[in-house]
Amino acid sequence: MKKLLLSVVLFFSISFIGFAQSGKAKYVFFFIGDGMGMNQVHGTEMYLGEKQGAIGTVAPLTFTQFPFTGYSKTYSTHNSITDSAAGGTALAAGHKTKNGTIGMDSAHTTAFESVAEKAKKAGKKVGIMTSVSIDHATPASFYAHQPSRSMAYEIGKDLAKSDFDFFAASDFVSPKGTSGKEEDLFKIVKNAGYTVVRGVDEYNKKSAKSDKMILFQKNGATTSNIPYAIDRKDGDLTLTQITQSAIDFMKKDNRGFFMMIEGGQIDWAAHSNDGATAFEEVIDMDNAVKEAFKFFMAHPDSTLIVITADHETGGLGLGKSGYTLDLKQFDNQKISKAQLSSDIVALSKKNKGKVSYDQIKELLKKELGFWDSVKLTESEENALENEYNNMVSNSAKKVKSEYFVDESLANVAIAILNDKAKIGWTTSGHSGAYVPVFAIGAGAEQFTGLQENTDIPKKIAKAAGY
């Protein structure tokens, strides 16, 4: 009852303040949930509700309570289904382009000016943040201009030229280029005046004396992404910490700021058709939005927060049989499919390839709740045992998604849990579905109804006066 009352109070507080805005957006927060379609959002709310209560209960996210909502089309110039490069370019620069292109037209002859670059020209501080690598397609679209998203080293050089104030991500994925003989990106960004720090402790020590900063996760972690929320351990960099650090760094003077914060791994989990992990990533981004909302509450007349997505990933369906979901089943999943796959490999290596089925069952019981909280049918048991036999006979085929190559046994196990929760996926790629738009603050009333993704950065620039 107390949680319900708090939600009602928050809803009316947001609505009252959100409708009251008429000033210019001096401070802009632009959140992009990569791959976050409407079903990723509402599925997360129902998942949270079922964790707290009964089937059919909904626990609203912070950003879904914002007073202005709409939908966005996501197609690119040559495809009805966009990739993140073309989708990111549309959201950054207000122009459609062809898939794979970063911040340029389809002919690769003209560079588009992004809303972040316009903000910098207008004298604002600019920050670009993500939960994946800083040279990934969506963040790159705000500062880089390259014919291919795969040109990570060249994208990194564009970062150094941007003169933006703050970047945060997992790392560079190719700091020495494809040949390994190019000038190291870390040297290039240092010469451009950036202080590179790893983790929030180092940020706190050096931020006061730095004019431009890049916050990466600690050494030893993967360069491609910060850990999934579901896999997180103490000391791991989080999107909330990134957002807190960006606000701290960018509010130092009275210039105002523009920042883009990407929840990049909603997309990665959806590519893997990993429902629990995708929902936890939406929650993780919502936690970062809460930090922006705290700032908004202190500056309600001059702050704009916009949340949208570049596309939907996975073709997520909420419902497979009957007229109900059972999303509470996902509460039994303790790690991502990718981590489960790694753990299966590690268990096999530890036992020199002679891992027993009982050992596999113990792992699945511990991490997915199988045989305890999650009761399995005979056919589900058979499917798991068959994949185990394929694995030990070396006849199992790896399952490749956009960003991971998983053990088939992990893939079967997560598919069983998805089925138990009664969700389905139509693809391991992107879909052409509309994506949601949520807004609050100065100029937020523009973001209602059905709109092109290219309209969104133009409306942000208008609200901010760039």
pLDDT of 290 higher than 60: yes
Q: What is the pLDDT of residue 22?
A: 56
Ramachandran angles phi, psi of 190, nearest 5°: -65, -45
Region 289-294: mean pLDDT is 98
How crowded is residue 39: how many other Cβ atoms within 10 Å of its Cβ? 22
Region 357-381: mean pLDDT is 97
Which comes out higher in pLDDT, residue 289 or 16? 289
Q: Are 268 and 225 in contact (CB under 8 A)?
A: yes
Which comes out higher in pLDDT, residue 254 or 362? 362
Region 394-405: mean pLDDT is 90
Looking at every residue in the chain, the average pLDDT score rounds to 94
Q: What is the pLDDT of residue 325?
A: 95
Radius of gyration in angstroms for the set of CA atoms belonging to the chain, rounded to a whole number: 22
Whose CA is closest to 194, among 254, 104, 134, 119?
A: 134
Q: How far from 377 is each of 150, 413, 417, CA to CA, in Å?
A: 44, 13, 12
* CA–CA gap between residue 72 and residue 304 (Å, rounded): 18
* CA–CA gap between residue 310 and residue 267 (Å, rounded): 10
Whose CA is closest to 128, among 243, 281, 219?
A: 243
| Of the candidate ranges 76-80, 159-163, 271-275, 404-408, the one whose mean pLDDT is the lowest | 404-408
- Surface-to-core class of residue 22, CB atoms within 10 Å of its CB (0-12 exposed, 13-18 middle, 19+ buried): exposed
pLDDT tens, residue by residue, 411-441: 999 999 999 999 999 999 999 999 999 999 9
- Residues 427-450 as b or e (16 or more Cβ within 10 Å = b): ebebbebbbbbbbbbbbbbbbeee
Q: Are 422 and 317 in contact (CB under 8 A)?
A: no
Q: What is the pLDDT of residue 76?
A: 98
Whose CA is closest to 337, among 418, 399, 410?
A: 410
pLDDT of 4 higher than 80: no
Region 2-10: mean pLDDT is 45
Q: What is the pLDDT of residue 53?
A: 84
Paired sense of beta strands 405-406 and 435-441, if any: unpaired
Region 372-393: mean pLDDT is 95
pLDDT tens, residue by residue, 218-247: 987 778 999 999 999 999 999 999 999 999
pLDDT of 2 higher than 50: no
Whose CA is closest to 285, among 304, 268, 261?
A: 261
Which comes out higher in pLDDT, residue 163 or 18? 163
Read off the tokens for 281.
């990533």
pLDDT tens, residue by residue, 139-180: 999 999 999 999 999 999 999 999 999 999 999 999 998 877
pLDDT of 379 higher than 50: yes
Q: What is the pLDDT of residue 17?
A: 53
Share of the chain above pLDDT 70, in %: 95
Q: What is the pLDDT of residue 1?
A: 43
pLDDT tens, residue by residue, 99-148: 999 999 999 999 999 999 999 999 999 999 999 999 999 999 999 999 99
- Surface-to-core class of residue 184, CB atoms within 10 Å of its CB (0-12 exposed, 13-18 middle, 19+ buried): middle
pLDDT of 13 higher than 90: no
Q: What is the pLDDT of residue 145?
A: 98
